[in-house]
Amino acid sequence: MKIAILHSAMTEGNNGAERLVYDLANEWGSRIYICDYDEKVQSSYPGIEHIVELKRIRHPGSFSRKYLEMMNVMTRRRDVDADFIFYSTPMPLFRIRKDPTPYMYMCYTPERGFYDLRGMLRERMRGWGFPRYQMGYMMLMYRKRKDWDLFTRRVNPDQVITNSRNVMDRYERIYGSRPRTAIPAPIMISRFRNRPSEDFYFTAGGLRPNKRVDMQIEALAGTGEKLVVAGDGPERGRLEKLASTLKADVDFLGRVSEEELIDLYSRCKALIFSAQDEDFGMVPLEAMASGKPVLCVNEGGPLEYLNGKVSFLFEDAGGLRGIVQKNSIDDYTSMRDDCLSLARRFDRPVIAGRMRKEIELILEEFY
């Protein structure tokens, strides 16, 4: 069976959705049909240029122009050489009503900016100095929210999967129907390595309000502990100012390459994860694949796989501070084997096999 993967854009690198389609394409021998592509991602995804079709190198211009072009490309009927289509982004959903090819849709989450994160984003955006075109885009999306929801409900929920039970519940709460099942995104265990721990905590991801890196900075300030932050985003300036004000030992690295990220995972003493109600949480899994335990906020998707042998949970900055002050490098190092054992359950061949089995069941049931 030939499976095609439809995805809107690969432009960032070290992105959970991009990593998923790359791993599945390699495991299934699939082609990735895409409309916005940045050659820089080749450093994060070796060989990606050989499995991508319909790629368009990013061009200068406004965000709105690029977005409309992307919509145009993804909604037009095109010949896709496949027996089955795996949709990995909301935009290709418009094809489903026109294209009779059997499909499965991976919903990473309903757009959170429309729902639980809307108030936070609106408040923080006031100080970001967004260009006018970005603000206009956000306003457009808010105005079209009801139309989008109405359309999304037309997708057969029995052909929808999510990456966690947390997202399944969110989908059902918002759209009124429950997806077929939850299958987590895979990680490639062989990519990661474990090295002796050095005296720093690590966090990775986009610097956005819902990641709550400010909670980590407040917790570590005055403890003598060092925090290394990999990632960039609109919150970076505010976070750097906060770290300076609190005299916290924080090293902001900005975006890092795949190799640099793997190296940081391998050398940290533990990962700190504070995202608000995270959909699933690939970063904690990648840390555990490196033999490092996770200090995680007590909410969201990571709670579905974390346990007391591989993690410590906290409620707020005070709770995180208490964990940091109580534990040493030796305490974290003693958790290494349990971390590696748990991470192996999410290895790429295991998860890709589960997804393929679900595809086969969909073909039996509906086609």
Question: What DSSP line would sit under 197-216, residue for residue?
Answer: --S-EEEES---GGG-HHHH
pLDDT at residue 156, rounded to an integer? 86
Contact in structure between 171 and 107 (CB atoms under 8 Å)? yes
Predicted confidence band at 109 (pLDDT cuts at 50, 70, 90)? confident
Q: How does DSSP classify residue 347?
A: B
First to last CA, the chain: 14
Q: Which residues face 231 on adjacent strands?
A: 254
CA angle 266, 267, 272 (to 5 degrees): 85
Query: Beta-carbon neighbour count of residue 133 at 10 Å?
Result: 15
- What's the rounded Cα separation, in Å, for the pair 34 and 55? 5
Residue 86: φ, ψ to 5°: -100, 110
Judged by DSSP in three states, 254 sits in strand
Q: Is the pTM of this model over 0.95?
A: no
- What's the rounded Cα separation, in Å, for the pair 224 and 310? 24
pLDDT digits (tens, 9 = 90+) for 166-219: 999 998 888 888 999 999 989 999 999 999 999 999 999 989 888 999 999 999
> Looking at residues 313-320, what average pLDDT do you find?
97
Give the C-alpha distances (Å, rounded to integers) separating 307 from 107, 275, 318.
26, 18, 21
**CA dihedral sign, ordered 193, 185, 93, 146:** negative
- What's the rounded Cα separation, in Å, for the pair 170 and 172? 5
**Average pLDDT score over the chain:** 84
H-assigned helices in 11-164: 16-28, 63-75, 93-96, 118-125, 132-143, 145-152
Q: How does DSSP classify residue 57?
A: B
Provide the token pair at 228.
């290394």
pLDDT digits (tens, 9 = 90+) for 239-272: 999 999 999 999 999 988 889 999 999 999 999 9
pLDDT digits (tens, 9 = 90+) for 240-249: 999 999 999 9
The torsion of the CA quartet 73, 79, 82, 87, rounded to 10 degrees, works out to 20
CATH number of 189-344: 3.40.50.2000
**pLDDT above 70 for 124:** no
- What's the rounded Cα separation, in Å, for the pair 179 and 193? 35
Q: CB-based contacts of 353: which residues, under 8 Å, 6+ apart?
A: none
Predicted confidence band at 143 (pLDDT cuts at 50, 70, 90)? very low
- What's the rounded Cα separation, in Å, for the pair 311 and 285? 11
Provide the token pair at 239.
């976070």
Place of tokens 């368009």: 56
The ranges assigned to domains in the chain are 3-186+348-366, 189-344
- What's the rounded Cα separation, in Å, for the pair 14 and 41? 8
Hey, which bits of the chain come out as E strands? 3-6, 9-10, 31-33, 36-37, 52-53, 84-87, 103-107, 160-162, 181-182, 201-204, 226-230, 249-254, 270-273, 294-297, 311-314
**pLDDT above 80 for 64:** no
CATH number of 3-186+348-366: 3.40.50.2000
- What's the rounded Cα separation, in Å, for the pair 231 and 216? 14
